[in-house]
Amino acid sequence: MQRLARNWRRAGARVGLVPTMGYLHAGHLSLVQRACRLVGQRGKVVVSIYVNPTQFGPQEDFSRYPRDLARDTRLCRKAGVDVIFAPDDAQMYPRNGAGGFSTFVVEETLSRGMEGKSRPTHFRGVTTVVAKLFNIVQPELAVFGAKDYQQAAIVKRTARDLNFPVKIVVAPILREPDGLALSSRNKYLAGELRAQALVLRRSLEKARAEVRKSSRPIPAARLKAELKRLIEQAPAARLDYVEFFEPHTLVPVPGVTRGTQMALAVFIGQTRLIDNARL
């Protein structure tokens, strides 16, 4: 992959990367479209498909995470992807169990709260695999989704802090017609659970409506308590966190106003879903 990428760059082609864990949906494909547009006719788009073990906690869904490389390949081909980079664990983390891999990339500020708090080793896995992918694919741009808002902010910060010559592009969240954000994990939402998953979107809408009708900042603690009540009206839903923060620094705000960023994580049965929006 690295050799191929170097040859492309030498020939003057722009290279765009879309990192994914596969089981592709229209949200991923919207990132691919964006990458194709940005690199232009003569450019190359690489989609990486890798369920990265280092970003999953021991109790999480790594082994049952949905995988379908044959279907992903068809979707990528239709979308005009030039190369799928789908390494295996032994290639990405050689002799990992035997101490054969021991270098990690850690962002220390933006990754403290929210996802970082609920999933303590998650972002260390993300920033490490993203740094590896940048070194392997050598893209001049990489497209990430706003669905993982904190992740996109951390990747931007890491690329800047470590001088990766990569432009990070963040594309908007793609949703189902009823407002559920597309996610590979939606596959887990059997029967009743699919409808209950709408509490995430409903919480974002409720917060937005409250902010729009209030002339003063709303105390974050009060809004959090209200949303927790709303969410837990769905019998299978359990709130992990809801946070209100400044969109660039990710610093929590005491008072919520128009322009505050909101993010939340909710368990629907065993499935943990996330969503976010600018209020």
C-alpha span between 147 and 171 (Å, rounded)? 9
Which residue, 154 or 236, has its beta carbon nearer to ligand AMP?
154
Q: Is 126 in the site for ligand AMP (CB under 6 A)?
A: no
| Cα radius of gyration (the chain) | 19
122 is catalytic: no
In the complex with ligand AMP, which residue's Cβ is closer, 182 or 218? Answer: 182
Instruction: Please state the closest distance from residue 181 (CB atom) to ligand AMP, in A.
Output: 5
Query: Does 275 help bind ligand AMP (rule: CB under 6 A)?
Result: no
* Closest distance of CB 160 from ligand AMP, Å: 17
By CB under 6 A, residue 56 contacts ligand AMP: no
31 binds ligand AMP (CB under 6 A): yes
Query: Where in 83-112 is the site for ligand AMP (CB under 6 A)?
Result: none
Q: Measure CA 252 to chain center.
A: 20
Q: Is 261 in the site for ligand AMP (CB under 6 A)?
A: no
Q: Which residue has the tokens 């999480």?
A: 60
Q: What is the spatial distance between Cα 91 and Cα 240, in angstroms, rounded to a whole number?
A: 34
158 binds ligand AMP (CB under 6 A): no
Measured CA distances, 62 to 47, 56, 162, 193 (Å): 20, 6, 28, 21
Q: Write down the least CB distance from residue 123 to ligand AMP, Å.
A: 13
Are 203 and 278 spatial neighbours (Cβ–Cβ below 8 Å)? no
Our finding on whether 200 is near ligand AMP (CB under 6 A) is no
Q: Which is nearer to ligand AMP, 137 or 220 (CB)?
A: 137
Min dist. Cβ of residue 62 to ligand AMP (A):
13
Q: Of 38 and 253, which CB lies nearer to ligand AMP in the complex structure?
A: 38
- Paired residues of 170 in beta bridges: 144
Backbone angles phi, psi at 56, to 5 degrees: -105, 140
Q: How far is the CB of 33 from ligand AMP (least distance, A)?
A: 11
Q: At what angle do helices 122-137 and 149-161 cross, to 10 degrees?
A: 60
Residue 231, burial from CB neighbour count under 10 angstroms (0-12, 13-18, 19+): buried
Phi and psi at 48, nearest 5°, equal -95, 140
Contact footprint for ligand AMP (CB under 6 A): 20-21, 27-28, 30-31, 144-145, 147-148, 171, 173-174, 181-184
